[in-house]
Amino acid sequence: MVLKLYAAPASTASLRVALILHEKEVPFEFHPIYLRNKEQKSADFLEKNPFGQVPYIDDEGFGLYESRAIGRYIALKYAGQGTQGLIPPQSDVEATGIFERAASLEYSQFDAHAIRFIVYERVFHTYTLSAMGVSVDEEAVKYAIDQLSAKLDAYETILSKQAYLAGEAREPATS
């Protein structure tokens, strides 16, 4: 039975799961959930995810919501196929610590500013809220850009010494 992905195409959390499915070469059936029609708040969908949000997967009867948890589940379950090394083996505690740190940084330092305020106000707003007469919260956008700029300075410090946040050290540039 093919894995079912309940998701919305413009949803960043849904795209996160689609990306992992692609990397791990997992075939899936796409079940669109139309957020504008509030399908994510239907009684049927709330049975799947009581928070009423996409994405959600049903993998041979095993249901899971929260995109990052889904991503890790897919990486572990389909470890033998597709892109390798997405998650270090748990037996390597140092690599696991560094991986968890990178995952935490993505959630708390990047996503918190980039998605909630910048992408939401500057991208999603254009398609949905503006038609409803809701104006962009410019103050929130400016605050998020300032916050994110400072975070990106720290990212730059790390990424000038290694290829990825989770490691793979490389030689510093010689010039």
Ligand X SMILES: N[C@@H](CCC(=O)N[C@@H](CS)C(=O)NCC(=O)O)C(=O)O
CA distance 135 to 125: 8
Q: Does 12 bind ligand X (CB under 6 A)?
A: yes
Cβ nearer to ligand X, comparing 124 with 155: 124
Which residues from 83-122 bind ligand X, rule CB under 6 A?
none
Which residues from 38-57 bind ligand X, rule CB under 6 A?
40, 52-55
Query: b or e along 12-46 (b: 16 or more beta carbons within 10 Å of the residue's beta carbon)?
Result: ebbebbbebbebbebebeeeebebeeebbeeeebe
Cβ nearer to ligand X, comparing 23 with 66: 66
> Residue from 5, 6, 13, 64 that binds ligand X (CB under 6 A)?
13
- CB of residue 93 to ligand X, shortest distance in Å: 26
Which of these segments, 8-16, 80-88, 130-138, 153-161, binds ligand X (CB under 6 A)? 8-16
List phi, psi (to 5°) of 91: -65, -25
- CB of residue 116 to ligand X, shortest distance in Å: 9
List phi, psi (to 5°) of 9: -55, -35
Classify the phi-psi angles of 61: left when phi > 0, otherwise alpha if psi is within -120 to 50, otherwise beta. left
Which residues from 22-41 bind ligand X, rule CB under 6 A?
35, 40
- CB of residue 106 to ligand X, shortest distance in Å: 11
Which residues from 60-79 bind ligand X, rule CB under 6 A?
66-68
Q: Does 167 bind ligand X (CB under 6 A)?
A: no
Name the residue with the smallest CB distance to ligand X. 53
- In the chain, the amino acid numbered 135 is S
List alpha helices for the chain, DSSP H.
12-23, 43-48, 67-77, 93-105, 112-113, 125-127, 138-159
CA distance 160 to 49: 40
Residues of this chain that interact with ligand X (CB under 6 A) are 11-13, 35, 40, 52-55, 66-68
